[in-house]
A and B are shown apart, each in its own frame.
Chain A
């Protein structure tokens, strides 16, 4: 069982509110990711990090921001939520092994966000 946790699991919030989705992992992984996914559809990478104080934009443009102040914590923030932000947000982490670029990614259960 993966030690990566996301809270809340479900969130319904009004337009214009600021929200933070939490993601924590206890595996000491350097690499962390945020994906956005609609039901049964593809995962879109929106942010990733390869260590403390590193954050990068993913392939899908997103109005959200992330921070990586501690290895285990990678929160995602939306300053002003809109209905177009309604989606599932999945956090993942993986270990960096020198010379091995593709290691198993462990996913949290996701946060299903609905903006009304």
Chain B
């Protein structure tokens, strides 16, 4: 059973388009993180969301944490080829004893 479900798994869009990717769980998280990974590298943290209903903006990226702290979304406005990569959400559910678990990721390709 996957603790964190991400959708879509693959996404290929044209430069300039908007997109949203989702991270859902049946478990409650004290916080969720979003990472971006480029080929051949380790993931790099983009943002941590902590409070239910929280919205964080990072330039063209908007992150939202669900009110019940079970889900999160990442919205990218006017995507650019440099946004191409694997987007991963991660968290340690309550009672998980420090395990940091990742979703399967969304592989985003932005075509020029």
Q: What is the interface of chain A, defined by CB distance below 8 A to chain B? A: 31, 33, 35, 39-43, 45, 48, 50, 56, 58-59, 90, 92, 94, 96, 100-102, 104-105, 107-110
Asked whether B11 is an interface residue with its Cβ less than 8 Å from the other chain, the reply is: no
Measured CA separation A31–B98 after assembly (Å): 8
Identity of the chain A residue whose Cβ is nearest the Cβ of B47 in the assembled complex:
A104
- In the complex, are the beta carbons of A43 and B43 less than 8 A apart? yes
B27 to chain A, nearest CB (A): 13
Q: What is the interface of chain B, defined by CB distance below 8 A to chain A? A: 29-33, 35, 39-45, 48, 86, 88, 90-92, 94, 97-105, 107
Instruction: Given A101-B30, A101-B92, check contact A50 B100 (CB 8 Å).
Output: no
Identity of the chain A residue whose Cβ is nearest the Cβ of B30 in the assembled complex:
A101
Contacts of B97 in A (CB 8 A): 50, 56
Measured CA separation A39–B97 after assembly (Å): 28
